[in-house]
Structure 1
Amino acid sequence: MNSVRSKRLSKWVIALLALALLLPAIPAAAQESGSGAITRGDAAVLLQQTLGLESPKALDSFTDVGVSDKAAAAISALKQQGIVKGDAKGFKPNDPLTREQMASLIVRAFGLHDNGIQVNYKDAQKIGKAHQVDAVRLKQYFIVDGLTFDPKHRVNKNEFVTALERAIGSDVEQQGSIPLTDLFRQPAQFGFQASPDGKKIGYIQPWNNRLNVFVKQAGSSEAVQVTKETDNNIAGFAWKTDNTLLYAMDKGGDENYHIYKINADGTGRKDLTPYENTRALLVDGLADQPGYLLVALNKRDPRVFDVYRLNMESGALELVAENPGNISGWMTDHDGKLRIAIASDGIISSILYRETEDKPFEELYTTNVGDQFSPIMFTYDNKQLYALSNVGRDKAAIVQFDPVSKKAVKTVYENADVDVSGIFFSNKTKQITGGYYISDKVHYEFTDADWKAKYERLQAKLPGKSISFLSIDDNLENIMVLAYSDRAMGTYYAYDAKADKLTLIADTAPWLKEESLAEVKPVTYKSRDGLTLHGYLTLPKGADPKNLPLVVNPHGGPWARDEWGFNPEVQLLANRGYAVLQVNFRGSTGYGKAFLDAGNKQWGKAMQDDLTDGVNWLVGQGIVNKHKVAIYGASYGGYAALAGLAFTPDVYAAGVSYVGPSNLFTLLDTIPPYWSTQLQEFYTRMGDPVKDKDLLTAVSPLFHVDQIKAPLFVAQGQNDPRVKQAESDSIVKALTDRGIDVPYMLKANEGHGFALPENQLDFYLALERFLHRHLME
Structure 2
Amino acid sequence: MTTSTDQTLLTYLNVTGATQPSVIPNQQAFTFLSKKTGIPQVWQWRGGQIEQVTNLPDRVLSVYHAPSGSRTVIGMDRKGNEKEQFYLLEEKRTEELVISEEHFHHFGGWSPDETKIAFSSNRRHPGYFDVYVLDVASKVEQVVFQVDGNCTPICWTEDGHSLVLNMPDTNIDQSFYVLDLKTAELSKIGAENALARTQSLQLSKDGQGGFYVSDKERDALAIHQFKFQSLAESEELLAIGNWDIEEIKLSPDGSQLAFTVNEGGISKLGVYDVDNKTHHLIEEIPNGVFDSLSWISEKELVLGVKSPIFPGDIWKVSLVTNKSERLTFVGEEKEVEHLWVQPELCTFSSFDGLEVPYFLYGKQEHSQPVVIYVHGGPEHQIRSEFNPVIQYLAANGFAVVAPNVRGSMGYGRSYVKLDDVRKRMDSVADLKELANDLVVNHGVDRSRIGIMGRSYGGFMVLAALTHYPDVWAAGVDIVGISHFKSFLENTGSWRRALREFEYGSLKDDTDFFEEIAPLNHTAKINAPLLVFHGRNDTRVPVSEAEQLTADLQKQSKPVELVIFEDEGHQTEKIENHIKMNTMIVEFMQKHL
Q: CA deviation at 1:307?
A: 1.9
Question: Could you tell me the percent identity over the aligned residues?
Answer: 22
Q: What RMSD in Å do the two structures reach over aligned CA positions?
A: 3.1
Q: CA deviation at 1:433?
A: 6.0
Amino acid at match of 1:219: G
CA distance in structure 2 between the partners assigned to 1:199 and 1:750 by the alignment: 36
CA contact (8 A) 2:23 2:295 kept: no
CA distance in structure 2 between the partners assigned to 1:189 and 1:694 by the alignment: 46
Aligned position for 1:325: 148
Aligned position for 1:671: 491
Amino acid at match of 2:113: Q
Q: CA deviation at 1:182?
A: 1.7
TM-score normalised over the length of structure 1:
0.69
CA contact (8 A) 2:105 2:119 kept: yes
Note if 1:710 corresponds to 2:539: no
Aligned position for 1:234: 60
- Match of 2:224, SS? strand
**Larger relative contact order (CA 8 Å, sep ≥ 6):** 2
CA contact (8 A) 2:202 2:249 kept: no
CA contact (8 A) 2:64 2:73 kept: yes
CA contact (8 A) 2:258 2:269 kept: no
- Match of 2:40, SS? strand
CA distance in structure 2 between the partners assigned to 1:735 and 1:472 by the alignment: 53
Note if 1:560 corresponds to 2:389: no
Aligned position for 1:420: 245
Are the structure 2 counterparts of residues 181 and 313 from structure 1 closer, same or farther at C-alpha, using a change threshold of 3 Å?
A: farther
Are the structure 2 counterparts of residues 367 and 548 from structure 1 closer, same or farther at C-alpha, using a change threshold of 3 Å?
A: farther
**Residues 737-752 of structure 1: matches in 2 within 5 Å?**
737-752=554-569
Amino acid at match of 1:315: K
Once the two structures are superposed, what CA deviation does each residue of 1:547-575 show, in whole Å capped at 9, x if it has no partner?
12111111000011111122223212212
Are the structure 2 counterparts of residues 248 and 690 from structure 1 closer, same or farther at C-alpha, using a change threshold of 3 Å?
A: same
Amino acid at match of 2:412: G
Once the two structures are superposed, what CA deviation does each residue of 1:66-101 show, in whole Å capped at 9, x if it has no partner?
xxxxxxxxxxxxxxxxxxxxxxxxxxxxxxxxxxxx
Aligned position for 2:82: 255
CA contact (8 A) 1:388 1:399 kept: yes
- Match of 1:393, SS? coil
Aligned position for 1:490: 312
Pick the structure with greater CA Rg: 1
Counterpart among 213, 231, 248 of residue 388 in structure 1: 213
Unmatched tracts of structure 2, length 5 or more: none
Once the two structures are superposed, what CA deviation does each residue of 1:481-510 show, in whole Å capped at 9, x if it has no partner?
444432121343445666888665321222
Amino acid at match of 2:89: I
CA contact (8 A) 1:573 1:580 kept: yes
Aligned position for 1:760: 577
Aligned position for 1:112: none
Unmatched tracts of structure 1, length 5 or more: 1-141, 143-165
Once the two structures are superposed, what CA deviation does each residue of 1:316-371 show, in whole Å capped at 9, x if it has no partner?
1123x2223135333433444434445566499765445674351145633466x4
Counterpart among 340, 346, 362 of residue 523 in structure 1: 346
Note if 1:729 corresponds to 2:551: no
CA distance in structure 1 between the partners assigned to 2:241 and 2:160 by the alignment: 35
Note if 1:316 corresponds to 2:140: yes
CA distance in structure 2 between the partners assigned to 1:294 and 1:522 by the alignment: 43
Counterpart among 120, 123, 136 of residue 299 in structure 1: 123
CA contact (8 A) 1:350 1:367 kept: no
Note if 1:439 corresponds to 2:264: yes
CA distance in structure 2 between the partners assigned to 1:774 and 1:423 by the alignment: 46
CA contact (8 A) 2:200 2:248 kept: no
Once the two structures are superposed, what CA deviation does each residue of 1:43-85 show, in whole Å capped at 9, x if it has no partner?
xxxxxxxxxxxxxxxxxxxxxxxxxxxxxxxxxxxxxxxxxxx
Are the structure 2 counterparts of residues 533 and 219 from structure 1 closer, same or farther at C-alpha, using a change threshold of 3 Å?
A: same
- Match of 1:610, SS? helix
Note if 1:209 corresponds to 2:31: no
CA contact (8 A) 1:308 1:317 kept: yes
- Match of 1:210, SS? coil
CA contact (8 A) 1:422 1:437 kept: no
CA contact (8 A) 1:424 1:433 kept: yes
Amino acid at match of 1:281: H
Q: CA deviation at 1:447?
A: 4.1
Q: CA deviation at 1:744?
A: 0.8
Once the two structures are superposed, what CA deviation does each residue of 1:582-617 show, in whole Å capped at 9, x if it has no partner?
111111112122212211125751010111111111
Aligned position for 2:47: 219
Using the TM superposition, name which of 530-539 and 352-361 deviates more. Answer: 352-361
Q: Name the structure where helix makes up a greater proportion of residues.
A: 1
Aligned position for 1:160: none
Are the structure 2 counterparts of residues 514 and 408 from structure 1 closer, same or farther at C-alpha, using a change threshold of 3 Å?
A: farther
Amino acid at match of 2:14: R
Amino acid at match of 2:509: D
- Match of 1:229, SS? coil
CA distance in structure 2 between the partners assigned to 1:404 and 1:496 by the alignment: 35
Are the structure 2 counterparts of residues 665 and 424 from structure 1 closer, same or farther at C-alpha, using a change threshold of 3 Å?
A: same
CA distance in structure 1 between the partners assigned to 2:292 and 2:170 by the alignment: 33
Once the two structures are superposed, what CA deviation does each residue of 1:177-230 show, in whole Å capped at 9, x if it has no partner?
x722222215265554442221544344557533333446x326474x432223
Q: CA deviation at 1:259?
A: 0.8
CA distance in structure 2 between the partners assigned to 1:329 and 1:317 by the alignment: 16
Are the structure 2 counterparts of residues 604 and 739 from structure 1 closer, same or farther at C-alpha, using a change threshold of 3 Å?
A: farther
- Match of 2:470, SS? coil
Are the structure 2 counterparts of residues 220 and 537 from structure 1 closer, same or farther at C-alpha, using a change threshold of 3 Å?
A: closer
Counterpart among 325, 331, 339 of residue 509 in structure 1: 331
